[in-house]
Copies of this chain bind each other. A is one copy, B any other.
Amino acid sequence: MLIKVINPNTTASMTEKIGACATAVAAPGTVIQAVNPTMGPASIESHYDEALAVPGLLEQIALGEAEGVDGYVIACFGDPGLDAARELARGPVIGIAEAAMHTASFLGRGFSVVTTLGRTAGRAWELAHRYGMAGFCKNVRACEIPVLDLEIPGSSARETITQECKRAVEDDQADVIVLGCAGMADLCRYITDQVGVPVVDGVAAATRTVESLVAMGLATSTRSEYAAPPVKQYVGLLDGFTVER
């Protein structure tokens, strides 16, 4: 089984870290292909970044379809382009916020999300509502750490995040922590040891979810909304995105 894990930003060090975390939890026989787009923003910290990460993500889905990929993970906590990716891909596509929130709901009465920037909290709540997980989400907490600080060796980011997770347990009475950024995937084990409640990394959760769906022979329904997009003309800078069939 071939699972393509797409980091939708263009920072290769983050892609490498995400790939390692996905590989660590995959079942024997599953091949993880971790990539990032060749176009778009270096990190995703705004709706603007998120919107402009999507073309590069969709290009990677289209490439994956040509290569026979079995399923996809979108490794950014805003789950950018999830619906569009589902239209393009034959196999299942899962976002890491989606997988992390569902997984956390299996482990306790409620979770808190601990994320990077406060300006992304609105999007996290929006996703929680869309996925039916708002009733489980006790809080979305921000550490006000820029995403790429997570890539700096020796930064104080790990401790800042751990402290925020502890506050989530004490103040929100969270049973479970959800890490709100793909760049935190490698911190999951350390924080678990520090806070004493389950900590869910969406990269791992989404990788296992896709793997399970493929193993069960399940893929996105093509009945109506997620059928392949109608063929039509694309022009200008984006003319390369014309779907061909």
Chain A residues within CB distance 8 Å of chain B? 10, 25, 27-29, 37-43, 45-52, 54-56, 58, 81, 83-84, 86-88, 92, 94, 98, 102-103, 105-109, 118-123, 125-126, 129-136, 146, 169, 173, 175-176, 189, 192, 196-198, 200-201, 204-205, 208-209, 211-213, 215-221, 223-227, 229-230, 232-241, 243
Contact A10 B48 (CB under 8 A): no
Q: Could you show 26 A-B contacts with beta carbons less than 8 Å apart? A: A10-B233, A10-B235, A10-B236, A25-B212, A38-B237, A39-B235, A39-B236, A39-B237, A43-B232, A48-B243, A49-B229, A49-B232, A51-B54, A52-B241, A56-B237, A103-B218, A108-B223, A109-B226, A119-B225, A129-B130, A129-B135, A189-B217, A192-B217, A196-B223, A204-B216, A205-B212
Number of copies: 6
How far is the CB of A112 from the nearest CB of chain B, in Å? Answer: 12
Question: Which residues of the other chain, B, contact A197 by a CB distance below 8 angstroms?
Answer: 221, 223
| Leading 7 A-B pairs by shortest Cβ distance | A39-B236, A132-B132, A46-B229, A208-B212, A47-B83, A108-B221, A175-B221
Contact B134 A132 (CB under 8 A): yes
Question: Which residues of the other chain, B, contact A216 by a CB distance below 8 angstroms?
Answer: 25, 103, 200-201, 204-205, 208
Q: With A103-B218, A109-B122, A198-B221 given, is the CB distance from A56 to B146 under 8 Å?
A: no
Which chain B residue lies CB-closest to A215?
B25
Question: Which residues of the other chain, B, contact A237 by a CB distance below 8 angstroms?
Answer: 38-39, 55-56, 237, 240
How far is the CB of A28 from the nearest CB of chain B, in Å? Answer: 6
Contact B49 A58 (CB under 8 A): no
Whole-angstrom distance between the alpha carbons of A233 and B12 in the complex? 13
Contact A50 B84 (CB under 8 A): yes
Contact of A130 among B118, B126, B176, B192 (CB under 8 A): B126
Question: Which residues of the other chain, B, contact A121 by a CB distance below 8 angstroms?
Answer: 225
Question: Which residues of the other chain, B, contact A229 by a CB distance below 8 angstroms?
Answer: 45-49
Question: Which residues of the other chain, B, contact A218 by a CB distance below 8 angstroms?
Answer: 103, 107, 198, 200
Which of A37, A102, A106, A237 is packed against the most chain B CB atoms within 10 Å?
A106
